[in-house]
Amino acid sequence: MQTFSGEYVWVHDQGRVYERDAQQQPLRMVGMVQDISAAKAQEVLLRRQASHDYLTDLLNRRAGYMHFRKQLSYAQRYGRQFSVSLIDLDHFKSINDTYGHQVGDQVLKHLVAGISAQLRQSDTLMRWGGEEFLLLLPNTDSDGAFQLVEQLRKRVAEQPMPLSDGEVQYTFSAGVASFPQHAEQMDMLIKAADDALYVAKSAGRNQVSVSDEVTGIAQGELSV
């Protein structure tokens, strides 16, 4: 309902007829209009909290799974390329131990902001758990996904998070897998990306690895 000031508010409207004429046509009624804007705002907030991570405001794992299924189903139905990347912040425990958990949270938000600024509107970054993120790249083959994630990796490595008395330098490692090249089902696609991430970590971190399409075992890619 529009108010006198021109704003719109949510209302709960109820009323009843309390007097009728001889033909039972209503003559008078009484009712009440209650402003429930605050309750509606709380409802929207709770709904968002159920699907989004409180710290980064990204889709959480539960909502991310649902979105992932829709994206992959679309790729399967129309024969489109579809890639995913598991991104893990390197040595995050050391950051927490050195600077404290509050700065660690700021680093996660800084990482998300830096990555999100470089993504296409169709791409989706979600928080997978802790310092791990899942990136969905529709209409993208493994080569294109590697180039994009490698570009993100370099940008993050070159842009430390500023502090009042210095800065926090950090990097990430990532694994890439693609449909239908590496796997055709969601769980197997995630596993392929996770295997590739393991290779990137084992090879020294701060690099991107792509799942091996022939053996199904991740193969490291050389990066600067």
Which of 131, 132, 158, 184 is catalytic? The answer is 131
DSSP 10-43: -EEEEEEEEEE-TT--EEEEEEEEEE-HHHHHHH
131 is catalytic: yes
Q: What's the rounded Cα separation, in Å, for the pair 33 and 14?
A: 7
Q: What's the rounded Cα separation, in Å, for the pair 92 and 106?
A: 12
* Count of other CB atoms within 10 angstroms of residue 56: 19
Catalytic residue annotation: 131
